[in-house]
Amino acid sequence: MALRHVNAVVVGAGAGGGVVAKVLSEAGLSVVVFERGDWVSFDEHGQDELKNQRFAVLGNAYGPDDRSPRVVETGAGTWEVVMPNEGSYNNNAACVGSGTVSYGAMAWRYMEKDFRMRSTYGAPEGSTLEDWPISYDDLEPCYERAEQEVGVSGDMSANPFAAPRRRPYPMPAFPYNTEGRILEAAAKRLGLHPFPIPMLRNSVPYGGRNACVHNRFCCGFACPNNAKNGTHNTVIPMALATGNCELRTKSIVSEVVVDERGLARGVRYFDSADRQQYQTADLVVVSGGAIETARLLLNSRSRLFPNGAGNRFDWVGRNLQGHAYCGTYGLFEEETFDDVGPGATIAISDFNHGNPGLRGGAVLTNEFIRLPYGFSVMRPPGQPSWGKAHKDFQRRFFKRCVAVLGAVQEMPVFDARMQIDPSVRDHWGIPVARLSGCRHPHDIEIGRFMVARSEIWLREAGAVTTWTYVPGMWLSGGEHQAGTCRMGSDPKTSVANRFGQVHEIDNLFISDASLHVTNGGFNPALTIMALGYWVGGHISARFKGGRFS
Amino acid sequence: MSGPDPAAGSGPALSRRTVLMLGLVGVIGATVGSGATMVIARLGRSTQPRYRFFTEAEAGLLVDICEQIIPGDDVSGATDTGAICYIDRQLCGALARHRRAYRRGLESFRQTCLQSYGARFQDLASSAKIEALRSVERGEVPKALWSEPSAKAFFNLVVAHTMQSFYGSPRHGGNRNYASFRMLGLDYPQVVGQNRYRKA
């Protein structure tokens, strides 16, 4: 029996898909959202440092499981099958809300220059650095809606580098914890401009949900108190409340069906009982995250697009990027640990742009609370990793360590990419993603600069021992994965137009970080949500019923 | 998985089932007299193995290695907090892909000790144990004894798993009684939403 035809199908209930579903269903469109994972709750895995979304030693708490392998390049021409809890898999999550269930919930707006990286700096050799086809001003109202509707606590008044905003945050900023207070004083002595990190987390009761209780286990974990705001507890319930939206969980979309005239007709998927189904729709929005969105497009072959939907010019799956996270660790003589979670409270944006000889930079923030197992590998060079010396170090410094991390904005690289593996298939028989390539050497240069700045900051704050971490040239992506279906005005060098509409397929849209031309020097979640409002607003303004064009 | 772990005690462990069976044997023995000795001997062999994956010999060696990685002092070390329970259990679960590395690595390690020190690891003095482990960590071992895993890879694997056991959630078999949380001065178990309040 055929499934009832709907106006819109949304593939993926994460940061992008959740927002789009809300916008479309409130505009009166009938919507079906597909999510490969399930609804999840805190109680399933609690505060388990070995099984969460950040430390997945014993598996991912919030998906996916081993039914969804990937293939990664391990050297020239050698490939290896990896499971979702391995680092090189570059996992995000698979559940209703996706990464927004378990993220650290930093709520950054990108800066104006982040949308104009090429015209500001020029592309370095070996990079496809480009401007976005939209500006910060275009996206500003969407950032505002994301902040208001999903819920952000913050105060940018102390940050002179912040992009202009029309409305204040709906909730007051979180106060600094002990680390934040130490770092704030030091930053001011250095002439820097510290300010509280904006968070998709309730500093006061908001939207019918509780205020944060400052849990130690936050980043990587679901919230036991419903104070962390993701799409699963905000826009998705709003979408369902309209009566126009249906959410089908444990449903794996295998293909967007594109007809002989180059229009999307719907999606083929496997339902929760692994039965093949076909859902027709007037339009399709793909929001699977940078790797899975590109995979779905490449797996959607048709007569007009034999190499995958939107892939006439071989841009789908390319420019995979994340952030070249670098960090400095400092040991203190006095206790710096106060157990006020999640711990990351303070930031400086002084080094996001304007660094001599460098294209961009990073926001610097203090790190989320180091948990006991995670801390067991945080050691200055040469420090024994085991034995009595290890145990003594844990005892002495677990509560006397502060870390500052930088989310280094990366230079997009054409050959940092995901493709479809020619032989490996997942549990449902769908060809899996295979990842290859590496990041740009300029990212490492920026990383070195950023750790030098953060080391000065920590030393000023009183650290007696410091050491730094700069990533290697390996492939980036991870939970900040972006860039694989970039938006642009030239169909030959991009996948979608400025509204997320796939070139040449008028009723196929993308709404997630795949669209990001560059990924800012910040955590990307709020920008993905803002793009959801941008793309969703465009669709609902132009949808006139029946076929979309 | 939350039942009592048969490998839990540090001394010779008797599972609850074994104790019950021995009690039963006592009754039978009283009834049938001399035949009981034979029954007891057979029962001794058919007692459930203490480990899911390891042999008794492998486990004995691994316990001694783990204890050097996280030695007991005024706070329990790897042995008393259940490192062997964690590793053994996870090798039959989420870490099953490392089974071969343990089976082969432990055998290479055993032979390395015999060849380099002329003694079993368990019989070495504490300082010699540390020296032996440092050699394995640095890969300074008889090359013929190690192929896959390499000595370094095997050592790093055991260190990682011992740390996971000691610092991870007790639900996985290690960190018995939240020993590491106590050592670090963290609330145990954490009372959600209450940990921000300083104790008087």
The domain limits of chain A are 6-542
Torsion region of A144: left, alpha or beta (phi above 0 gives left; psi -120 to 50 gives alpha): alpha
CB within 8 Å: A49 and B180? no
CB within 8 Å: B68 and A387? yes
pLDDT value at residue A76: 85
Average pLDDT over residues A103-117: 98
CB within 8 Å: A59 and B94? yes
User: In this predicted model, what pLDDT tens digit does every residue of B14-49 receive, in sequence order?
Assistant: 444 444 444 444 444 444 444 445 555 555 555 788
Burial of A386 (0-12, 13-18, 19+ CB in 10 A): buried
The tokens of A461 are what?
């704050």
CB within 8 Å: A213 and B93? no
Chain B residues touching residue A340 (CB < 8 angstroms): 196
CB within 8 Å: A215 and B193? yes
pLDDT value at residue B190: 65
CB within 8 Å: A58 and B172? yes
Say whether residue B119 is in contact with chain A using an 8 A CB cutoff.
no
pLDDT at position A277 over 90: yes
Say whether residue B66 is in contact with chain A using an 8 A CB cutoff.
no
Judged by average pLDDT, the poorest of A88-97, A480-489, B15-24 is B15-24
pLDDT value at residue B199: 43
CB within 8 Å: A48 and B68? no
Domain A6-542 superfamily per CATH: FAD/NAD(P)-binding domain (3.50.50.60)
Nearest Cβ partner of B168 from A217, A338, A373? A373
Nearest Cβ partner of B184 from A225, A338, A372? A372
Chain A residues touching residue B79 (CB < 8 angstroms): none
Interface test with A, best of B1, B65, B158, B164 (most A CBs within 10 A): B164
Average pLDDT over residues A31-57: 95
DSSP three-state, residue A449: helix
CB within 8 Å: B183 and A215? no
Q: How confident is residue A498, by pLDDT bands cut at 50, 70 and 90? A: very high
Say whether residue B130 is in contact with chain A using an 8 A CB cutoff.
yes
My answer on whether omega of the bond before B189 falls inside 30° of 0, hence cis, is yes
Q: How confident is residue A144, by pLDDT bands cut at 50, 70 and 90? A: very high
To the nearest whole angstrom, how far is the Cα of B168 from the nearest Cα of chain A? 6
Average pLDDT over residues A325-352: 96
Interatomic CA distance for residues B82 and B103, integer angstroms: 19
Going by DSSP bridges, is the β-strand pair A465-469/A364-366 parallel, antiparallel, or unpaired?
unpaired
Residue in B closest to A387 by C-alpha: B69
3-state SS string for A247-294: EECCCEEEEEEECCCCCEEEEEEECCCCCEEEEEEEEEEECCCHHHHH
Average pLDDT over residues A99-109: 98
pLDDT at position A439 over 60: yes
* Residues present in chain A in total: 549
Q: Which residue has the higher pLDDT, A485 or B6?
A: A485
**DSSP annotation of B178:** G
Bridge partners of residue A348, in order along the sequence: A364
Chain B residues touching residue A225 (CB < 8 angstroms): 192-193
- Chain centroid to CA A39: 19
Average pLDDT over residues A357-377: 97
pLDDT value at residue B5: 44
pLDDT value at residue A544: 84
CB within 8 Å: A214 and B196? yes
Interface test with A, best of B1, B75, B190 (most A CBs within 10 A): B190
To the nearest whole angstrom, how far is the Cα of A23 from the nearest Cα of chain B? 34
**DSSP annotation of A147:** I
pLDDT value at residue A77: 86
To the nearest whole angstrom, how far is the Cα of A237 from the nearest Cα of chain B? 25
User: In this predicted model, what pLDDT tens digit does every residue of A55-84 receive, in sequence order?
Assistant: 999 999 999 999 999 999 998 889 999 999
Report yes or no: A491 and A455 within 8 Å, Cβ to Cβ. no
Nearest Cβ partner of B90 from A47, A58, A216? A58
DSSP A327-344: EEEEE-SS------SS--
Residue whose pair of structure tokens reads 């996706």 in the numeric block: A98
User: In this predicted model, what pLDDT tens digit does every residue of A3-17 receive, in sequence order?
Assistant: 999 999 999 999 999
Enumerate residues 6+ apart whose C-beta is below 8 A from A313.
A491, A492, A493
To the nearest whole angstrom, how far is the Cα of A302 from the nearest Cα of chain B? 39
pLDDT at position A547 over 70: no
Bridge partners of residue A276, in order along the sequence: A270
Interatomic CA distance for residues B200 and B198, integer angstroms: 6
pLDDT tens-place values along chain B, 200 residues long:
333 443 443 334 444 444 444 444 444 444 444 444 555 555 555 578 899 999 999 999 999 999 999 999 999 999 999 999 999 999 999 999 999 999 999 999 999 999 999 999 999 999 999 999 999 999 999 999 999 999 999 999 999 999 999 999 999 999 999 999 999 999 876 665 555 554 43
Residue in B closest to A42 by C-alpha: B192
Residue in B closest to A227 by C-alpha: B193
- Over chain A, what is the mean pLDDT? 97
To the nearest whole angstrom, how far is the Cα of A206 from the nearest Cα of chain B? 18
Encoded amino acid at B56, one letter:
E
Q: Which residue has the higher pLDDT, B44 or A369?
A: A369
Encoded amino acid at A495, one letter:
V
Chain B residues touching residue A398 (CB < 8 angstroms): 184-185
Q: What is the dihedral of CA B185, B190, B192, B198, to 10 degrees?
A: -30
Enumerate residues 6+ apart whose C-beta is below 8 A from B78.
B63, B66, B67, B69, B70, B71, B72, B162, B165, B166
User: Percent of chain A, pLDDT > 90?
Assistant: 96
pLDDT value at residue B112: 97
Interface test with A, best of B76, B181, B184 (most A CBs within 10 A): B184
pTM (2 d.p.): 0.92
pLDDT at position A537 over 50: yes
Say whether residue A217 is in contact with chain B using an 8 A CB cutoff.
yes
Interface test with B, best of A391, A392, A396, A400 (most B CBs within 10 A): A391
- Maximal C-alpha separation, chain B: 66
